[in-house]
Amino acid sequence: MLRVLIIEDLPVNMLLMVAVLQRAGHEAIEAGTAAAGIALAREQHPDVILMDIQLPDMDGLAATRLLKADPVLRAIPVIAVTAFAMKGDEDEVFAAGCDAYVTKPIRYKEFLGELEAVAARRTPAP
């Protein structure tokens, strides 16, 4: 079982990701803003973070940069969840420090496969 922090502002997307994760036996931790997500990451130390790119308070890539700059949180893999799927967008996602990305609308098997692959590559925090 993975503990997954979902940072997503749209309720329908949050419900879908929570349902998919719970059905697969994972625990979902929910945050509707980047600030709430960063606070929950510090408090909960999830196994993986799913980061929406378009958030109301802060761009998801900026939030990822903050997470990756924190020595305590940098080892937590971040998967960008985005509607953007252009080549330049992919480069920007990885440059911000994301470990992977999945596109919306999410596809159940691909989504879980990427999540589990990223979690398996995680390096333990020092």
- Predicted confidence (pLDDT) per residue in 60-77, tens digit: 999 999 999 999 999 999
Alpha-carbon distances of 60 from 6, 15, 49, 54, 118, rounded to whole Å: 12, 19, 11, 6, 18
Tokens of 102: 């999945």
Q: What is the per-residue pLDDT for 86?
A: 65
Q: What is the per-residue pLDDT for 89?
A: 76
Share of the chain above pLDDT 90, in %: 73
Report yes or no: 120 and 80 within 8 Å, Cβ to Cβ.
no
Among 2, 16, 32, 9, residue whose Cα is nearest residue 121:
2
Report yes or no: 48 and 79 within 8 Å, Cβ to Cβ.
yes
What is the C-alpha end-to-end distance of the chain, expressed in Å?
22
Q: What is the pLDDT of residues 109-120, one digit of tens each?
A: 888 999 999 999
CATH of 3-120, one of 1.10.260.40, 3.40.50.1110, 3.40.50.2300, 3.30.70.20: 3.40.50.2300
Alpha-carbon distances of 109 from 24, 93, 114, 117, rounded to whole Å: 10, 22, 9, 12
Count of Cβ atoms closer than 10 Å to residue 108 Cβ: 12
Q: What is the per-residue pLDDT for 123?
A: 60
